[in-house]
Amino acid sequence: MSPATALVHETADALRDTLRAHGLDVPGLSVEQDRISLGDITVTTADRLARLLGAPETQVERNLEEWPEARQVMRRLGAAFRVVTGGGFLDLYFHPDCVRCDRDAVVAAGPINAPEARRLVSRLARH
């Protein structure tokens, strides 16, 4: 394993530990081609992460797992991520719950680079 790859894995471990310390369950966090993927997270986890990163709380009128609320959560998380990382982009996609395939609603988060992940760890460590 190259030193750069080892650093990405160390950063992923630090991010995983920091998220766990805040009670956030991110079971799909992994390293893929020297980038860190958060994987699928619940809408509630995405909302809590957005707030931890500095997004304002919003008044929820319905279930967070409904389209309008989930989209609002993703907008807030994406904006907070940009601020914390100095302009980074977090690709987010909402998968609604599916009775047919017996799956809960999730937000799929695309991969981020190690410097962005380190900025997240730094921000979350301050809370």
Strand partners, 103: 98
Sheet with 35-41: strands ordered across = 30-32, 35-41, 106-112, 92-95
Residue 101 has pLDDT above 80, yes or no: no
Q: In this predicted model, what pLDDT tens digit does every residue of 12-21 receive, in sequence order?
A: 999 999 999 9
Q: In this predicted model, what pLDDT tens digit does every residue of 4-61 receive, in sequence order?
A: 899 999 999 999 999 999 999 999 999 999 999 999 999 999 999 999 999 998 877 7
Place of tokens 């301050």: 126
C-alpha span between 30 and 68 (Å, rounded): 29
Give rounded-to-5 percent helix, strand, coil for the chain: 45, 20, 35
Asked whether the beta carbons of 23 and 49 are under 8 A apart, the reply is no
SS3 119: helix
Residue of 52, 55, 64 lying closest to 104 (CA atoms): 64
Asked whether the beta carbons of 42 and 24 are under 8 A apart, the reply is no
pTM tops 0.85: yes
Amino acid letter, 22: H
